[in-house]
Homo-oligomer: A and B are copies of this chain.
Amino acid sequence: MKLHGYFRSSASYRVRIALNLKGLSAEHLSYHLRKGEQRAPAYLALNPQGLVPTVQGDGGIVLTQSLAIIEWLDETHPAPPLLPKDPLRRAQVRAFAQAIACDVHPVQNLKVLARLRELGLAEEKVTDWAAWVNRDGLSACEKIIAGEAGPFCFGDAPTIADLCLVPQLANARRFGVDVAAFPRLLKAEAAAKELKAFADAAPERQSDAE
């Protein structure tokens, strides 16, 4: 299996955690996003959105979109499960993951921030934007799991909710958000970071880290 990604991409980070939890190895191919390597024609042929990650599996299959890749990994390699069995709990886990993967991450990604700069926004305002998106989204996430005992987002094992949370908290800190306002999220992060699968997937542990 090949994982086309980037050390700092939080969507790639989610997939790295999933691969590690499933005990799967992949050849990591790095695309320097700030240099625009993800827009090279050869990569666009794999992923027309020009986003990372992309997974290439056996027999030339190509998968895009981190949550779709993770659900595919979960369906094809069921142990350990990344979603609960109960439909309602599955929906709650997916909703939390999507609150991050839909409503936070894409609104503060490289492409959007670059567009804000093109519109003449000063660097400080661009950072404010990214911090706002993270603070707003993570505040809602904190409320969503406030009543969950944990220690993970949902229960005593990691799910796709944790796979989205841990990389997003890293982004939030990078943009200067005071994450101490989110004690329940930090509890889930602490539980996750005790696992080697999460630790090994961290951006600073990747071979393309700068």
Using CB atoms and an 8 Å cutoff, list the residues of chain A in contact with chain B: 48-51, 61, 63-65, 67-69, 71-72, 75-76, 87-88, 90-92, 94-95, 98-99, 101-103, 105-107, 112, 115, 119, 121, 125, 129, 132, 137, 139-140, 143-144
Q: What copy number does this chain have within its complex?
A: 2
Please report whether the interface of chain A is mostly helix, strand, loop or mixed according to DSSP: helix
Query: With A48-B144, A140-B48, A140-B49 as given contacts, are A75 and B90 in contact (CB-CB < 8 Å)?
Result: yes
Query: With A90-B72, A115-B129 as given contacts, are A105 and B107 in contact (CB-CB < 8 Å)?
Result: no
Contact check, A69 vs B49: say whether CB atoms are below 8 A apart: no
Question: Which interface residue of A61, A76, A95, A139 has the most chain B CB atoms within 10 A?
Answer: A95
Contact check, A68 vs B107: say whether CB atoms are below 8 A apart: no
Residues of B within 8 A of A72 (CB): 87-88, 90-91, 94
Q: Would you mind naming 24 contact pairs between A and B with Cβ atoms under 8 Å apart?
A: A48-B139, A48-B144, A49-B99, A49-B137, A49-B140, A63-B88, A63-B92, A64-B99, A65-B98, A65-B102, A67-B102, A68-B92, A69-B91, A69-B95, A71-B91, A72-B87, A72-B91, A75-B87, A76-B87, A98-B102, A103-B106, A106-B106, A106-B107, A119-B125
